[in-house]
Amino acid sequence: MILVFVEHEAGVPLATSLESLTLGRRLSKVMGLPLHASVAGDGARGVAGALGAYGASAVHAVEDPRIADYAPTAWARALAQVAEAGDARVALAAATDRGSEVMAHVAAIAGLPLAASCVAVAAGDPFVVTRQRFGGSLLEDARIDAGLKLLTVAPYAVPPEEVEPAVEPEIRTVAPDLMEGDLRVRLTGREAADDGRVSLSDARVVVGGGRGVGSADGFRSLEELAGLLGGAVGVSRAVTSLGWRPHAEQVGQTGARIAPDLYIACGISGAIQHMVGCKGAKRILAINTDAEAPIMAKADYAVVGDLRGVLAAVIEEIRRLGSS
């Protein structure tokens, strides 16, 4: 089988997991193997129905009250056992925080190589993956020699595709055989973000600021614009390194990956580490004094000029239209 680790939130599969499932289905076709999914955590069983639309013929629901909440090593143990019992040839997950972590544990448990952040797979002999390096600004073709190939799938690399007609997956209950040490790391609590703002990952509009904003104070106009558009503020690494804004707002290789309808990049030069964080944006509008800045070539729209003046005028225009 081809086995896909599916993440979900309260019974709804994550979009990134549907991407992995889509890649898994392509592999199942090429390799002539059934596509199975493995789901853990509270509500796992309830996810199964939604996965039939993506071609999963069976869903392994990991049910163990000790690990109903996230427990990386134990979830990996369960996944490794499902893979072994079903003689899986490929096991994959989305390259999210949890997907990357669970697959790393599976790889360590099974003593096998793991190819992280893959964007494409050629499932022949040899089995070759194309994977991201430097957050995606460089690609590597690599060959995996193992009975069970382990990989994670880079977000946004494979658009989710439903199958017609949807299949009705068979649900199989998994009672994992856990080892003592597997339970040492479990999620023991959650703390809500304290500000009630729109989160960067969900925002339809992100107003981004770089070194060109000039100071911590300079972000007031970015916040105002974000507020008017119901969006969130994002920043470049330079800004968090200078201590102007909290790291939670950083967009880029070591920060958040965003996928808004519009990213408004203000005073951001466009270093590759930043661009890998916002390449999921549908549209990019750059505001920059330097018409030759790298961001200009990567944007859909650009305004050349000092961002203070431009933002003030844009804010005024939006307010004028709003009050008329």
Partner 1 sequence: MEVVVCVKRVPATAGKITLTEDEVDTKFLSFAVSPHEECAVEEAVRLVEAHGGSSTVLTLGPAEAADQLRDALAMGIGEAVLLETDGTEWDAVATARAISDAVSARREQGRGLDLLLFGNESADTGDFQVGVRVAHALDLPCVTGVKALQIADGRAVAKRQVGSGWEVFEVDLPAVLTIKEGINLPRYPSVPGRLRAKKKEIERIVPERRPAGPERLRLHLPPEQERGVQILGTGPEAAPKVVEILREIGVMAQ
Residues numbered 181 to 200 that lie near partner 1 (CB under 8 A) are: 181, 184-194, 199-200
With CB under 8 A as the rule, give the number of residues binding partner 1.
Answer: 104
- How many Cα atoms occupy the beta-carbon half-sphere of 317 within 13 Å? 6
> What character string, x for contact with partner 1 (CB under 8 A) and - otherwise, covers 47-76?
-----------------------x-xx---
CA distances from 164 to 20, 52, 54, 113, 167 (A): 18, 10, 9, 34, 8
State the minimum distance, in angstroms, from the CB of residue 324 to partner 1. Answer: 11
158-177 binders of partner 1 (CB under 8 A): none
Computed from CA positions of residues 70, 71, 76, 78, in that sequence, does the dihedral angle turn out positive or negative?
negative
| Exposure b/e, 4-40, CB count within 10 A at least 16 = b | bbbbbeebebbebbbbbbbbbbbbbeeeebebbbbbb
**Least separation in angstroms between CB 71 and partner 1:** 10
Q: Are strands 205-209 and 232-235 parallel, antiparallel or unpaired?
A: parallel
In sequence order, the 6+-apart residues with CB closer than 8 A to the CB of 65 are none
Closest distance between partner 1 and the C-beta of residue 157, in Å?
11
In the region spanning residues 292 to 321, those forming contacts with partner 1, defined by CB under 8 A, are 294, 296-306, 309-310, 312-314, 316-318, 321
Comparison of 194 and 217: residue with beta carbon closer to partner 1: 194
30 lies in the binding site for partner 1 (CB under 8 A): no
Q: Does 267 bind partner 1 (CB under 8 A)?
A: no
Subset of residues 85 to 114 that bind partner 1, contact rule: CB under 8 A:
95, 97, 100-101, 103-105, 107-109, 113-114
